[in-house]
A and B are shown apart, each in its own frame.
Chain A
């Protein structure tokens, strides 16, 4: 077979080649983005994953998850039932209480994202202090199984915060509602800082700058120099430069 070559090489003067040149390749990760990602991954690494499940089970859970993925209108309760039914039992004594969680939230449509694909993720045994990620953090913490409620709490936290993240650009009002709910339920939860950053972002998008600044100030005061503080500062300064 003759070698297949891209339009811009095989026929550089073609209309196709001209159009293809308008497409931008993936952007590089900025140093700030890389730093934040590293930090967030390190945080993630401290949440111990469950013991191995066979792929088939994961696929089944995944399928249930995908259903939720499709429509933000699917309520959480259904998801949790689906994933609990799909083999979420062998390592999780918490399946029942997760349904409680769902019931508590079923009065509101909450867009569920990543968290549904990890129904069994566990939080660190204790709230881990913030630390910068480093290459040396590869060894996993082997903490004893945390109490079930704790796992559910983080699951709920993730659900609210990740849901807000997804809504942020298109429906900042909805994002704000989720974040306020998180603030009410988990005032100093494990994702509190993340929440405040997203809240600042949502408030800016909603044109509620004074509130955004107030939240930003208290976050910066609480964690000066942290990635979160830097993020809200850059959010505020970049939005200030726009008319």
Chain B
């Protein structure tokens, strides 16, 4: 579908859009900082907006780029609203098992993870998404560029900016000691 953007909305409706790009929207929202528990609702949110805007979408942009833009707005709004409950929403699902195995280490790691999440949470959502795609999911800069409809050089500079911010914050939160080797 990306190869030949539809010329009119008659060729595209929200069901087709979801079938083709639902997974992409889901992953994008997560990359853009929407928490697991809220992904389902925000997915719906994106498609509600896409549905309303579909008649105006003339294929000037790639469908995914267009959807990503909607995701970005939804995520920004979501993050603003959710910011006051940041502290109360730890993602608990993963740790119960590891807590039983090695409680002390698991707690330390959990705390570290929480701070890393906090760093990412405070990043601009798009910067965060690019960082996660590149560093965590190992998606190449060129591919990210295509998804976002920007030149690869832009993606590279945003990766650099995100890395800089990440490193700076990690040092500030003492997740990184410049003396190194404090934790393994």
Interface residues of A (CB under 8 A from B): 1, 4, 6-9, 15-16, 18-20, 22-27, 29, 33-34, 36-38, 40-42, 44-45, 47, 49-55, 57-58, 62, 66, 69-70, 72, 111, 113-115, 117-118, 120-121, 133, 135, 137-140, 158, 162, 165-166, 169-170
Question: What are 6 pairs between A and B in contact, CB < 8 Å?
Answer: A22-B113, A41-B15, A41-B22, A70-B80, A114-B49, A162-B45
Interface residues of B (CB under 8 A from A): 9, 13-16, 18-19, 22-23, 26-27, 30-31, 36-41, 43-45, 47-49, 51-56, 58, 60, 73-74, 76-77, 80-82, 84-85, 88-89, 91, 94, 109, 112-113, 116-117, 120, 132, 134-138, 141, 156, 159, 163, 166-167, 170, 175-177, 180, 183
CB distance from A150 to the nearest CB of B (A): 16
Q: Specify the chain A residue showing the minimal Cβ separation from B25.
A: A37
Complex Cα spacing A139 to B81, Å: 36
Question: What secondary structure prevails in chain B residues at the interface with A?
Answer: helix
Which of B53, B58, B175 neighbours the largest number of chain A CB atoms within 10 Å of its CB? Answer: B53
Q: Specify the chain A residue showing the minimal Cβ separation from B176.
A: A15
Residues of A with C-beta under 8 A to B163: 7, 16
Residues of B with C-beta under 8 A to A138: 13, 15-16
CB pair B40 A49 closer than 8 Å: no
CB pair B55 A137 closer than 8 Å: no
- Residue of A38, A53, A69, A169 near B18 (CB, 8 A) is A38
